[in-house]
A and B are shown apart, each in its own frame.
Chain A
Amino acid sequence: MTVTYIVRVENRPAVLTRVTEVFRRRAVNIESLTVGHTQCPGVSRMTIVVDTDEAAARRMEAHLYKLVNVLHVDTVTEQPSVFRDLAMIKVGADHETRAQVMQLVEVFRARVIDVSPASLVVEITGTEDKIDGFVDVLRPYGILEMARTGRLAMRRGVEVAGGVVAANGAAALDGAAA
């Protein structure tokens, strides 16, 4: 099964290695992993997608929690959540095919962010399924290059990954910085 973790970590050297080590030593492949800043200074947020079974998923969550630099772990696989992936796709498009590609861009609510005589760079945001569908229809025009962020996840509603714990963690971090 596909499991999605949201992991809030201290933004320090080697934290990424410590987190990925939890999966590596169990020979679990990471399908996607995104890291970026949060609204709290010094706190980064990772969204990690792995393919594993339920028991192993629980064990790995517990092991992520054990890491000293990990502030909070949220397994959102079963939670009402929104998932988004962002892709930049460079597709072959000359004066004959450009209009057709632009039409597909329109249908998928993507955006053209670069135009050259023989190619377009298109940006699309959506679920992985939607992007996969877009890639399928672009393929006949020749995909020259593609970059995807991998899944970003957030719980629906007022629920916050980490909740009170994250707020305390952030407060402690702020205190540490001061």
Chain B
Amino acid sequence: MELTGAQIIWESLAREGVDVVFGYPGGAILPAYDAMLDYPIRHVLVRHEQGAVHMADGYARASNRVGVAIATSGPGATNLVTGIATAMLDSSPVVCITGQVHSRLIGSDAFQEIDITGITLPITKHNYLVNRAEDIAQVLREAFYIARSGRPGPVLVDITKDAQQQRCPFVWPADPKLPGYRPTHTPQAEQLADAAAWINQAERPVILAGHGVIHSGATDVVRALAERAQIPVAMTLLGIGGVPASHPLNLGMMGMHGEAWVNTAIQEADLLVALGMRFDDRVTGNTGSYAPRARKIHVEIDPSEIGKNVKVDLPLVGDVREVVAGILPAVVPAARPAWLQFIHDLKGDAAVRSVVNLPDSGHLYAAHVMQDLWHETEGRTIVVSDVGQHQMWEAQYYRHEEPRSLITSGGLGTMGFALPAAIGAKLAQPDAEVWVVVGDGGFQMTMAELATVVQEQLKINIAIIDNGYLGMVRQLQEFFYQRRYAATPLVNPDFCQLAAAYGLHAIRVDRRADVRPAVRQARALAVSAVIDFRVEQEDSVYPMVPAGADLHDMIRRPSPIAETGADQ
């Protein structure tokens, strides 16, 4: 069968099971767009290419399938960069296809020519420049395989315009040809036995559950391990949902904004069982004083993560699900009443400080919004959060029961991620209820994608946590820069009028009593809704471990709330 390179792109995507792509056309990718009309793949027209990658990323995270973004050469390709870096830092399987100028013009600074494989080299798992039609199928086969296997990540395929236009026989390759790529590893039996023995010997163990638990679908085995050996589970931001929030052994999120009982448990532990996480600096604080009494078992699919940030005593390189399943049979049931009681007592002390447990003072706090959203939706929606204070409040107060129900930019911390990622998540899971939780700052970075929501006739609810500041930066200024609010106050548009201009339903909420009715109203509507939650302006996220400080050295919640800046 002889096809053009452009047709081969779509034939290949179809064979990879792609049902939707996110993109933006332009000159160098036009042959591919022209051929697209003959293929049954849905194309979502974005308003900025950054949105296309975030959508592909959100699609991938919600579904465990590879997300696909398409852009033209030059500025189309460079606009992908932030999205690709976001996917890279959070190990998200994304394939980006970019048009490139005619191969004859490469290196000549032709119109809209840019070296996108050079630019994206450090932020992709791998990338390709293709200048012959006959290479397209093989390269796309490899790109999808690399993106989804091992530790997933983004792959960029740059295809010249002439390669799209040439005709050649189409042969779908049986296998990727990657002799140097070894994505899978299996630990030795003795290592698995050692891990089980260490767990059996431990008195104060903690499981640290990361993104890898979700990637490998390890929820059931991690839960089985925790239950059999009565090991409390702390989660990284991206590990949230890996173990149900309602599970009695689930402690919640660890790290910089983790609850005091979680971080204290880690610091007091005699064994850490780290599963698919990478001891990020937001998780460990000062590595010199991190979990000083704990032996550390590190289960991780990427060998380069072993010993990178924290010295590990027993590395188990492999897929979390397979490794935990391999450890499990030798783990002896245990009770650990003293250890669990110790953590339980810590919890009680922290809970009385939480704003959601205080009487209504007339102020609307973001924590209220998160807790009420959780109650109303029973923890069963997909929440896509942006980056900043609201992201941390969401992680603290929205209690996720399912894997892949929280989608957020953890590693890169990309503001503007939430709205486009939510569009991708909705297309991946059309039957799921999807909520965007976003700050007033981050929302304005990618709010142009509201038009995409409308054009694609999607039902997404958007909760803007509107405090009139770049809140997390303001908080840092409050704590560490003597409240000198340089460039953090925001003058915002009227978000309700803005939503209305796009044809969306808009609701404004500034009292706690109105939160749940507004959520109910938004859910009942057929059209997407924007809720502008006007929350306390100078509220801060607690607890907080200052960057580089010891994990146990956290700034606790003030108690009572009259101590917060807003009330002074």
Residue positions of A touching B, CB distance < 8 A: 9-10, 13-14, 17-18, 21, 25, 55, 58-59, 62-63, 65-72, 168-170, 172-173, 176
B129 engages A59 (CB within 8 Å): no
In the assembled complex, how far is the CB of residue A35 from the closest CB belonging to chain B, in whole angstroms?
16
CB atoms of A9 and B180 under 8 A apart: yes
Question: A59, B146: Cβ atoms under 8 Å?
Answer: no
Question: Are B181 and A62 within 8 A (Cβ)?
Answer: no
Q: Cα distance A69–B179 when bound, in Å? A: 8
Measured in the bound complex, the distance between the Cα atoms of B126 and A12 in whole Å is 13
Is B303 in contact with chain A by the CB < 8 A criterion? yes
Distance, CA A176 to CA B174, complexed state (A) = 12
Q: List 19 A-B contacts (CB under 8 A).
A: A9-B180, A10-B180, A14-B121, A14-B129, A17-B121, A21-B122, A25-B122, A59-B304, A62-B303, A62-B304, A62-B306, A66-B304, A68-B125, A68-B181, A69-B180, A70-B180, A169-B179, A172-B177, A173-B179
With A18-B121, A25-B122 as known contacts, state yes or no: A68 contacts B180, CB within 8 Å. Answer: yes
Please indicate the chain B residues that have their CB under 8 angstroms from the CB of A172 in the complex: 177, 179
Residue in contact with A176 in the complex, picked from B121, B125, B126, B179, CB distance below 8 Å:
B179
Which residues of B line the A interface, CB within 8 A? 117-118, 121-122, 125-126, 129, 146, 177-181, 302-304, 306-308
Closest Cβ–Cβ distance, residue B278 to chain A (whole Å): 13
Give bound CA distance, A133 to B200, whole Å.
Answer: 61
Which chain B residues lie closer than 8 Å to A14 at the CB level?
Answer: 117, 121, 129
> Within 8 Å CB of B177, what residues of A?
172, 176
Which chain A positions have C-beta within 8 A of B179?
Answer: 10, 71, 168-170, 172-173, 176
Closest CB in chain A relative to B151 CB, distance in Å: 9
Residues from chain B with a CB closer than 8 A to the CB of A65 are 303-304
Complex interface: chain B residues within 8 A of A170 (CB):
179
Once the chains are docked, how many angstroms separate the CA of A13 from the CA of B146?
18
Interface of chain A: mostly helix, strand, loop or mixed: helix
CB contacts (< 8 Å) of B181 on chain A: these are: 68
| Cross-chain contact A59 with B180 (CB below 8 angstroms) | no
In addition to A14-B117, A71-B180, A72-B180, 11 A-B residue pairs with Cβ atoms within 8 Å of each other are A13-B129, A21-B121, A21-B122, A58-B307, A59-B308, A65-B304, A66-B304, A68-B180, A168-B179, A172-B177, A172-B179
Contacts of A169 on B, CB cut-off 8 Å? Answer: 179-180
Closest chain B CB from A45 CB (angstroms): 13
How long is the Cα–Cα vector from A66 to B302 in the complex, in angstroms?
8
> Please, which residues of chain A bring their CB within 8 A of the CB of B304?
59, 62-63, 65-66
B303 nearest CB neighbor, chain A only: A62
- A-chain residues with CB within 8 Å of residue B303 when the two chains form the complex: 62, 65-66
Closest CB-CB distance, B481 to chain A, in whole Å? 29
Q: How far is it, in angstroms, between the C-alpha of A104 and the C-alpha of B121 when the chains are bound?
A: 48
CB neighbours of A13 from chain B (8 A): 129
Residues of A within 8 A of B306 (CB): 62
Residue of A nearest to B179 (CB): A172
Residues of A within 8 A of B126 (CB): 68
